[in-house]
């Protein structure tokens, strides 16, 4: 009899990773669960709270599999938290979940799993790995409403060969049905929120950053350069933001169309001023050969896709809202990731 492959399952304490472990057990893998301790500060959301570790351990006990906790707190601070703060300091909007995947889940944990003799690593992400003629590719999950391929766009061939996403072919409803059928601790647990180290309480992001960053007070100016308001923290403003600019006028609402931390200014304009025909980009990366035809382009984790061409910049087929500098832009063709870039300042 062939020996079962050893697979390490990253268990965040949520229903998705719980069911991923259960599915792999049923498929005959030798399953071990692991929960990563990433954040040492206060947290009431995401996958960083003490209760999440407890939930993961309870599910592992229910499934009768070993469970470990790996402390990657220092790496998380270095590769996720510090860059998050640094990005705000220069007026960019970061993607901490993407950087956690890049540096922690699919680098540090990936290498730890290999060093411990595991054949494979699995997570509860809603995404699929597709074998195509030119190699393995990240593909959208069966449940497009829960799809997480956007935050996995950086995975390379070596990683994809050793990864499994057991629930990528399931709807969220089916995942919960499986969890309930097994009476898993996490069956009815709510989905986690983005930015696990930021509290959901009012002012959570600002309070977090104020402890780590000297905020810059500044001016809100209109498109002619005339001051129309003052603002306490330029670093807290994101492109497209409407509330918190200190500008009155419900009939003609103002939106942040530019943020300049160095000059301590936020430029406010009309909704029409938010739209552009092209988006400048950096760190352009293709999965395989470059494709300069029309692709479907996504600019946020839960956003829609829009048709555009890529030629050292994103050229939208129709005017598109400005993308906040620092955001990842991911290109799709037939629901498969074919490339990515980072939005730059206009």
The total of structural domains in the chain comes to 3
Out of 181, 201, 225, a domain closes at 181
Q: Which of 47, 48, 97, 196 is catalytic?
A: 196
Is 187 part of a structural domain of the chain? no
**Pick from 124, 158, 181: which residue ends a domain?**
181
**Over the Cα atoms of the chain, what is R_g?**
22
Is residue 276 flagged as an active site residue? no
How many Cβ atoms sit within 10 Å of the Cβ of residue 339? 21
Say whether both 149 and 255 belong to one domain: no
My answer on whether 255 and 141 are in the same domain is no
The closest alpha carbon to 81, from 39, 43, 111, 42, belongs to 39
* 188 lies in some domain: no
Q: What residue has token string 């931390």?
A: 261
88 Cβ neighbours under 8 A, 6+ residues apart: 94, 209, 213, 235, 236
In this structure, the answer to whether residues 29 and 139 fall within a common structural domain is: yes
Per-residue pLDDT of the chain (346 residues; tens, 9 = 90+): 467 899 999 999 999 999 999 999 999 999 999 999 998 665 545 555 678 899 999 999 999 999 999 999 999 999 999 999 999 999 999 899 999 999 999 999 999 999 999 999 999 999 999 999 889 999 999 999 999 999 999 999 999 999 999 999 999 999 999 999 999 999 999 887 667 777 766 668 888 898 899 999 999 999 999 999 999 999 999 999 988 898 876 567 899 999 999 999 999 999 999 999 999 999 999 998 999 999 999 999 988 999 999 999 999 999 999 999 999 999 999 999 999 999 999 8
Q: Which domain holds residue 235?
A: 214-269
284 with 265, same domain: the answer is no
Which stretches does DSSP call E strand in 214-254?
A: 218-221, 227-231
- Catalytic option among 47, 48, 97, 100: 100
- Do 242 and 290 reside in the same domain of the chain? no
Is residue 194 in some structural domain? no
Instruction: Tell me: do 175 and 245 sit in the same domain.
Output: no
Whether residues 131 and 177 fall in one domain: yes
Residues 6+ apart with CB under 8 A from 301: 95, 97, 148, 150, 151, 194
261 & 279 share domain: no
> Looking at the domain assignment, is residue 129 inside a domain?
yes
Reply yes or no on whether 100 is catalytic. yes
pTM attached to this predicted model: 0.92
Pairing of strands 120-122, 30-37: unpaired
Q: What is the DSSP letter of 52?
A: H
Tens digits of per-residue pLDDT, 246-279? 887 656 789 999 999 999 999 999 999 999 999 9
Q: 312: how many CB neighbours lie within 10 A of its CB?
A: 10
């Amino acid at each position: 009899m062939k020996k079962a492959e050893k697979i390490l399952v990253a268990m965040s304490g949520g229903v998705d990773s719980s069911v991923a472990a259960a599915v792999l057990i049923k498929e005959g893998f030798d399953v071990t669960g692991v929960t990563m301790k990433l954040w040492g500060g206060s947290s009431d959301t995401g996958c960083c709270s003490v209760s999440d570790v407890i939930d993961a351990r309870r599910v592992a006990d229910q499934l009768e599999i070993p469970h470990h906790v790996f402390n990657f707190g220092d790496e998380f601070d270095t590769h996720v938290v510090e860059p998050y703060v640094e990005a705000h300091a220069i007026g960019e909007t970061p993607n901490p979940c993407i950087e956690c995947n890049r540096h922690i889940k699919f680098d540090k944990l990936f290498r730890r799993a290999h060093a411990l003799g595991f054949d494979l690593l699995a997570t509860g992400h809603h995404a699929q790995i597709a074998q195509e003629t030119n190699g393995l590719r990240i593909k959208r999950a069966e449940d497009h409403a829960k799809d997480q391929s956007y935050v996995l766009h950086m995975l390379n061939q070596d990683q994809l060969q050793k990864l499994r996403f057991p629930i990528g072919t399931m709807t969220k409803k089916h995942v919960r049905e499986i969890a309930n059928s097994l009476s898993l601790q996490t069956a009815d647990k709510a989905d986690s929120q983005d930015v696990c180290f930021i509290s959901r309480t009012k002012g959570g992001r600002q309070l977090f950053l104020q402890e780590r960053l000297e905020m810059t007070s500044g001016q809100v100016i209109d498109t002619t350069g005339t001051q129309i308001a003052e603002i306490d923290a330029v670093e807290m403003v994101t492109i497209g933001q409407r509330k918190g600019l200190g500008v009155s006028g419900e009939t003609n609402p103002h939106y942040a169309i530019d943020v300049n931390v160095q000059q301590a200014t936020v430029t406010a304009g009309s909704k029409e001023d938010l739209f552009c025909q092209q988006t400048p980009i950096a760190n352009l990366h293709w999965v395989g050969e470059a494709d300069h035809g029309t692709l479907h382009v996504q600019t946020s984790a839960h956003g829609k896709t829009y048709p555009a061409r890529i030629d050292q910049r994103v050229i939208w087929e129709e005017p598109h809202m400005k993308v906040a500098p620092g955001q990842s832009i991911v290109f799709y063709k037939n629901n498969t990731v074919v490339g990515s870039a980072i939005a730059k300042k206009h």
